[in-house]
Amino acid sequence: MDLTLPADLRTIAQKLALAGEECYLVGGALRDRLMAIPAHDYDLATTAKPAKVVEIFEKVIPTGIKHGTVTIIMPGGQYEITTLRADGAYKDGRRPEAVNFISKIEDDLARRDFTINAIAYKLPSGPLCDPFGGQPDLKAQLIRTVGQAEERFKEDALRILRAARFMAKLGFEIVPETYKAMQKLAPLTAGLSKERTAQEFCLVLTAPQATKALNLFKKIGLIELLWPELTAISAWEECLNGLAGLPLERTLRLGHLFSYLPQEPKSLAERLVLPAKERNHLIALWHILRAAPPQGIATEREFIAQNYSLIPDYLALFRGPESLRTLAERYQSEPLYNDKNLAIKSNDLMELCALKAGPALGELRRYLLEKVWENPDLNEREALSVLAKNWAQGITDES
């Protein structure tokens, strides 16, 4: 079987073999390679205990040594390697506290979520170990829990969201037993941390079949339960149709979703644990998408100048009867709308005019930009210096 794997994996397996240990490729990367799609994040499993892994490899990071995970740094990249383990008892649907290290790969595969994720490939050259029928399910494009579905979701309710994630990512169907258990046990997801649910939500949102999984979330009551702000979207179908046409880019897709919300999307942004910068961008975008679009050259210019960094997303997400072609053209053809393209640096302005960073500097930059919009020839250092010095002395056209 030719899985075309990175050369580093062979090296890692050989080093472990010399120490009498086994090494397997597991998880999503193996699943993806079996489907002949490009893989990222090669997860490895080994019989070696974490301390031994640390000893064998020169460059390692003890990522999650308590759970048996070490990151090995190799010439071609980084690889997470986890000691074979059988998870102990789950408490309240959370990760087990105790970890039992074991020596049989089959037992490690048994703790994994879905059959398509519970296959192992013995490195460096096989064979495959597939005790739960992962390969036939991959062929038939089915998502099925390893073992009894209800039991597995009770152990960890995140798996309910993960099933939807793989549906969105791979376009697979969920088998009836697994689906019924998801429906029945959906309320258990209320006990998950917002960090975990937010991560799955964003993975779903940026997957090729996002709409399929979002509809599933809605159908089994997860939207109401986990992201209740989204129940305020009245044009759900239209919103999802629009989503399907967008690039798989998180901020853009969130911007689209948010633009259907009647209220400022503050609490949803918080629920999704977005970084402050992305959250502010999205809230500002929400405001301009919901306002009347600018009309006429003067207001368009003003609008671009005020919202410069939001304009690409604004243009990509704007829905309305009016065409924004002129705005797009103006944005693209008049680079001076980007305040960064002013031919003089803030530092130089501060020195020239004995200014400190603050509102006055902003005012001066704005004054210079407006001059440059009137007459683009003025955008060179010398001319701007003269204008700036005059401005600082109170000499302007208006005065």
Among 112, 212, 256, 330, binds ligand ATP (CB under 6 A): 112
Question: Count H helices, E strands: the chain?
Answer: 21, 11
Q: How many chain residues touch ligand ATP (CB under 6 A)?
A: 12
Tell me whether residue 72 or residue 372 sits nearer to ligand ATP (CB atom).
Answer: 72
Q: In whole angstroms, how close is the CB of 173 to Mg ion at the nearest point?
A: 21
Sole binder of ligand ATP in the list 27, 50, 93, 255 (CB under 6 A): 27
Stretch that binds ligand ATP, among 55-63, 129-137, 154-162, 232-240 (CB under 6 A): 154-162
Nearer to Mg ion, 29 or 269 (CB): 29
- For the bound state, the minimum distance from the C-beta of residue 179 to Mg ion, rounded and expressed in Å, comes to 23
Closest C-alpha among 26, 275, 17 to residue 128: 26
Residue 80 sits in the site that holds Mg ion (CB under 5 A): no
Q: Which of 21, 22, 43, 200 binds ligand ATP (CB under 6 A)?
A: 43
- Told to check if 113 binds ligand ATP by CB under 6 A, we report yes
The site partner of 93 among ligand ATP, Mg ion, none (C-beta below 5 to 8 Å per kind) is none
Q: How far is the CB of 128 from ligand ATP (least distance, A)?
A: 15
Q: Which is nearer to ligand ATP, 172 or 258 (CB)?
A: 172
Contact 257, 239 (CB under 8 A): yes
Answer yes or no whether residue 156 interacts with ligand ATP by CB under 6 A: yes
How many residues touch Mg ion under the rule CB under 5 A: the total is 2
Stretch that binds ligand ATP, among 110-118, 120-128, 265-273, 314-322 (CB under 6 A): 110-118
Q: Tokens 């490899």 correspond to what residue?
A: 57
SS3 (DSSP) at 73:
strand
Closest Cα to residue 101, out of 66, 72, 71? 66
State whether the Cα torsion 197-201-203-209 is positive or negative: positive
- Cα(57)–Cα(59) distance, rounded to whole angstroms? 6
Instruction: Specify the residue for token string 């393209």.
Output: 341
Which partner in ligand ATP, Mg ion, none is near 229 (CB below 5 to 8 A by kind)?
none
Contacting residue, 9, 48, 158, 188, with ligand ATP by CB under 6 A: 158
List the beta bridge partners of residue 94.
91
> Is the distance from CB of 262 to CB of 286 less than 8 angstroms?
no
From the list 17, 36, 41, 376, which residue makes contact with Mg ion (rule: CB under 5 A)? 41
Q: Which of 19, 41, 193, 309 binds ligand ATP (CB under 6 A)?
A: 41
CB of 253 to Mg ion, least distance (A): 20
* Side chain identity, residue 254: L
Q: What string of DSSP letters covers 376-395?
A: GGG-SHHHHHHHHHHHHTT-
Q: What is the DSSP letter of 94?
A: B
Choose from ligand ATP, Mg ion, none: what does 117 bind? Cβ within 5-8 Å by kind.
ligand ATP
Q: Which long-range contacts (CB under 8 A, 24 or more apart) does 38-44 make?
A: 41/80, 42/5, 42/6, 42/9, 42/79, 42/80, 43/79, 43/80, 43/81, 43/82, 44/9, 44/12, 44/79, 44/80, 44/81, 44/82, 44/123
Look up residue 370 and give its two tokens. 């407006």
For the bound state, the minimum distance from the C-beta of residue 91 to ligand ATP, rounded and expressed in Å, comes to 14
Site for ligand ATP contains 117 (CB under 6 A): yes
- Asked whether position 55 contacts Mg ion by CB under 5 A, the answer is no
Options 8, 11, 28, 95; binder of Mg ion; rule CB under 5 A = 28
Edge-to-edge strands of the sheet including 69-74? 60-64, 69-74, 77-83, 43-46, 23-26, 120-122, 128-129
Q: Which of 8, 10, 28, 86 binds ligand ATP (CB under 6 A)?
A: 28
Residues that bind Mg ion (CB under 5 A): 28, 41
Residues that bind ligand ATP (CB under 6 A): 27-28, 41, 43, 112-113, 117-118, 156, 158-159, 169
